[in-house]
Structure 1
Amino acid sequence: MIAFLARRLLVLMLSLVVASLVVFTAVEVVPGNPAAFMLGMNATPETVAALQQTLGLGQPAPLRYLDWVAGMLRGDFGISYTYRTPVADLVADRLAVSLPLAALALALSAALALPVGLFAAARQGRAGDAVAMGAAQFGIALPNFWLAMLLVLVFAVNLRWLPAGGFPGWSDPAAALRALILPAVALALPQAAILARVLRAALIETMAEDYIRTVRAKGRSRTGALLAHGLRNALVPVLTILGMQFSFLLAGAIIVENVFYLPGLGRLIFQAITQRDLIVVESAVMLLVVAVILVTFLTDLAYALVDPRLRRAG
């Protein structure tokens, strides 16, 4: 187990180094001058050069990269070119919305997918299986931004049960959670459909194993064998999808955040790109990359807990 953890930690560190180089290089090669963009078309070259020097853009790229990485290791992500405030404060404010939204959407996705996947696998080839997988296929094909607008129309405009958009802040937790319910549902339903199909396929494959046939031969029902022995062994691909979904929900919710006017991290990155605020783009994207790599690392640890063969191999 120690060797397994050591290998995974080494891969994590190398991934972070490579990701930081890729993010910095990708942002640096984007055409356009942030200083010229901020000052407007009528700015003189001297004024643009002075602002570049103030923003630290006059240094060579390798020095800017090293300063950026060293600052992140200290928790200093730099100063936003546009807002003139620390990037760490901007990101922390937006994470206070995006992180609970992603967690709530992931919880809803798992809560919906687990019973549907179990139901379909227990009734393989029957009408219930066809109905459940047909509904899941429809959920996969459903665009989440269209679903978001439909939810607003039904539950906010017509029924007036939930707010149509905006975020009141966490000073009132009940109001904050009410503001996140509709966007979380819009994000969770397509992901739940994907997860349900993966769980069904994994369960059906597991139920064809020899040890399951042995359990069935001892008199255990199909449903009992599925719940007692099949579910745990089918969780490895499910954990993979859950890890990928959390990363997607955290980084890829920009469209839903714009539909509901949520001040999340995805919306911050979109605004920073349009404003040529490179330091915000670099830091926010790198933070998302770190989140993805950490989730992958935790998923690997979950594999080891679910499958003892990985611990023995380590």
Structure 2
Amino acid sequence: MASASALPESGLWPRPLDSVIRVLVPRPPRPQNRGDAEKDVEILVVNGVEVKNNRAVKFDVYIDKPYGDGIKSTNSSELGVLAGSLVDLARLKGGRKLRLNLCLDWVLEEIGAVESPVLLVSLVPRMGSDITIGGNHLITNRRGALLGLGLGLLTWLLPGTAIAAPPPEPLSEFGPGPRPLNSTIRVLVPRPPKPSTYREDENVLVLIVDGVEVKDNEPVRLDVYVAKPDEGQVGSDDDLGEFAGSLIDLARLRTGRRARKTDLDMGITNLVKQIGAEKCEKLLVSLVPRTGAMVVDGVHIENFKAE
């Protein structure tokens, strides 16, 4: 792995992501006077991710508590907890600009950093080149708090949503046509065979949630879990499997727009190995809505060649 570099704070952007970037990111103060129906969710925002070519890219984001100067090791096994990844399959030709939002509520508890004033964030490039972090613009949230370039943390108020688990039932595939995501959806997703021209070490499995449509201009959050199928039955919420990623859209700068549509791409190669599902022809995928109204067109898995 490329050597890691350290910064005392999250400034000095933009920066090329040609090696591991490790920075200390201050946490925002908690909002005051929260309503009973609201929950404060801390979100890591990676701003201005610019890809200057037409190739697929992937980078992982790890979170840890600072130790001393904030740096422990360049080994990925010691970077902390994997908070999420940005995967973009270059569906659009030419350069593109992206932003990654990661929910940290479970991460903070796992690393014991609920009360820590700063977090150690590591950006680890996995695939692609010509990636730059940090654009030439500033973003404000709807409460007027200013976010800097590059990396920032904000606390967002999301409506509290209690999602009832569906009763155990036979598993099936997603089926034709879109489905409203007003409760947890659990589906079997076939795995495509690995192309014969791909070596095992260069085949990347990507789970794609197609056509996530948001009906209004409110923030939304969708969590995705992956598990091995178990005798054709769905278990309880305690049996969702391993967390694969989230879609978080804060609905910034969308005044006057009543609907928007996006895809969610998640690299799951290591996750599949972790759950012992390398030989499974299908995977059990759970879509768990946390807040906001959404409609989903489908779920599928693709093989992709790492360059």
TM-score > 0.5 by shorter chain: no
- Give the structure with higher Rg (CA): 1
| Structure with higher strand content | 2
Q: TM-score, normalised by structure 1?
A: 0.19
Which protein has the bigger helix share? 1
